[in-house]
Amino acid sequence: MKKYFTLLLITFSIATQPLKAQLDMAFISDFTSISNNSVNRISWTVSKNHGVKSFDLERSTNGIDFKTVAVLKATEKYNTENYLCSDTIISRDIIMYRLKVVSKTQHVFYSKVLLVKSKMPSNYDIKIIGNPVKDQLSFNYNPKNVPQADIKIYNLTGKIIFNQKISCFTGNNFISIPLTSDFAPGMYVIEIDNGILSQTAKFIKQ
């Protein structure tokens, strides 16, 4: 019985050695991010690069659901190699990144999770003029290289009160929306979606 147990331990040790070797082969260091306007630049360093097949950069806003935003094929460099990948920011939320590392023997493991506070430029904001508002909603909107956008206004129950597509230009756009009898006094949320970025702001109708 003792010999049988010893044999099992030896077998288990031999079986796990290749996996441990692959995890060590793809050691990740200097996993960092630099935010520049509306782009996060993610960089990392890998030692023993020759054992890696590819990297999947994954993004999450809740730390649970991760989505692949980029796939990088490993270079042919044998030892230490540096990598850089860019990700367009779509909100001011704290974003979490991780790397899915695939070895040449198809073993998979994940890096630590990197937390990044996005630094979106302030000129992407919706700047409401004169809040609370009365008969009309006026605001400044500053998109970038986007010819049109969809505007929606919701009440606090989530019902769409206003829905319209507008044309816009690069730079400051002054927009005014008449508030009809559909707008009872209270709080509303305006959403502007230009296909690249969706933004919201709250206003109060007197």
* Position with higher pLDDT, 62 vs 3: 62
Average pLDDT for residues 186-205, to the nearest whole number?
84
Q: Which two tokens stand for residue 86?
A: 């860019």
| The pLDDT of residue 158 | 80
pTM of the predicted model as reported, rounded to 2 decimal places:
0.51
Query: 86 near 41, Cβ under 8 Å?
Result: yes
pLDDT in tens, 40-92: 889 999 988 999 999 999 998 878 889 999 999 999 999 899 999 988 775 66
- Per domain, the residue ranges of the chain are 26-117, 122-205
Which candidate, 189, 141, 190, 188, places its Cα nearest to that of 167? 141
CATH of region 122-205, choose from 3.30.460.10, 2.60.40.3080, 3.40.50.12500, 3.30.390.50: 2.60.40.3080
pLDDT digits (tens, 9 = 90+) for 95-137: 899 999 999 999 898 999 998 876 655 445 688 888 899 899 9
For residues 31 and 38, which has the higher predicted lDDT (pLDDT)? 31
Q: Give the other-Cβ count within 10 Å of 116's Cβ.
A: 19
Using the CB atoms, write b or e for 92-102: b if 16+ within 10 Å. eeebbbbbbbb
Q: Which of 136, 146, 183 is nearest to 166 (CA)?
A: 146
pLDDT of residue 4: 41
Q: Which fold has domain 26-117?
A: Immunoglobulin-like (2.60.40)
The structure tokens listed for 33 are 């991010």
Nearest to 66 by CA among 75, 56, 81: 56
One fold for 26-117 and 122-205: yes
